[in-house]
Amino acid sequence: MWGGLGAAGATVGLITGGLLTGHAGWDCIFFLNVPIGSRPWHSRRSWSPGGAYQARRRYDPLGAVTATGGQMLLVHAMSTAPQDGWSSPKTIGTLATAGVLLVAFVVVERRAGAPLLPLRMLRNRAVASANLAGLLLGGSFFAFIFIGTFSMQQALGHPALQTGLTWLATSLSSVALAGLAQVLVTRIGAGPVMAAGMATIVGGTRWATQVPVRGTFWADLAGGLIVAGAGTAFAFISISVARLIGVGEATLASPRTWTTRPRSRRRGDIERGDQPRRQRR
């Protein structure tokens, strides 16, 4: 379900982004985060458990600040370095500050009573492998979307809305195969499905590089986009499942699916065996 919802959200986002970019300006897309983020914030009381658990709950604000600040500065430095120069004082200073904040984050997490990132999770082979695969998946596929969108608009002359509708081939194929991906992960394990998904994405993106300057959707674009979308279904779901394998405390490993559940219930679920069927003993 989580994989299907993610692909469905991408479908809606593509169309909405195309409409906003074409009729209101590309900078308006950032305002979408305001209503989307404010809704769960105002509804948090209806999702969270009663006052007894809330009174015991602890947070890690220092860890959140150092992690967020370090990553923001790192991204900012890498984004502006081509214009400012990699050896410019601004770039070097920003990178150094980002490094200091990220090192501080690790120190904070080692000492925090309720760390945002329990460092013991990084020693879990399943979680570490899934995180690495997730990094490769995100870096490669989002680059594919960026370059593909740029090519459609600049080389093929597609307007923003048409470009968004073209990407529906990718997201709809991912939605259609999400259920099959779940079944395969349960039966043969996350590793083989993950490898097959990543290889399928490579094949789809390689196919998409063959689109000619005057290419059309059905003759040139559809095949590669559909294959790449199919690969994301298998890769994304298997990575999400792999992050939960062998993890007793899954607060960070799958935040979007577990964040609304009390810690005691999460631990109880794992003790009762509420994990993929392959992992039961």
pLDDT digits (tens, 9 = 90+) for 28-42: 888 888 887 787 777
Query: Are the C-beta atoms of 221 and 8 separated by less than 8 Å?
Result: no
Q: Tokens 């399928």 map to which residue?
A: 200
Domain tally, the chain = 1
Establish if 44 belongs to a structural domain: no
Establish if 65 belongs to a structural domain: no
Establish if 52 belongs to a structural domain: no
- Where does the pLDDT of residue 4 fall: very low under 50, low under 70, confident under 90, or very high at 90 and above? low
d(CA 190, CA 236): 10
d(CA 44, CA 61): 18
**Residues 214-228, mean pLDDT to the nearest whole number:** 94
Show the domain range for 129.
2-25+116-279
**Residues 192-207, mean pLDDT to the nearest whole number:** 95
**Residues 15-20, mean pLDDT to the nearest whole number:** 85
> How many CA atoms within 13 Å lie on the side-chain side of 257?
14
Q: Tokens 């997490």 map to which residue?
A: 109
Q: Which of 124-128, 142-146, 251-255 has the least mean pLDDT?
A: 251-255
Establish if 190 belongs to a structural domain: yes
Q: Rounded to 5 degrees, what angle do the CA atoms 269, 274, 278 make?
A: 145
d(CA 198, CA 136): 9
Establish if 56 belongs to a structural domain: no
d(CA 182, CA 198): 16
Q: Which two tokens stand for residue 168?
A: 């529906």
Enter the pTM of the model.
0.74
Establish if 81 belongs to a structural domain: no
- Where does the pLDDT of residue 184 fall: very low under 50, low under 70, confident under 90, or very high at 90 and above? very high
Establish if 98 belongs to a structural domain: no
Establish if 99 belongs to a structural domain: no
**Residues 87-115, mean pLDDT to the nearest whole number:** 95
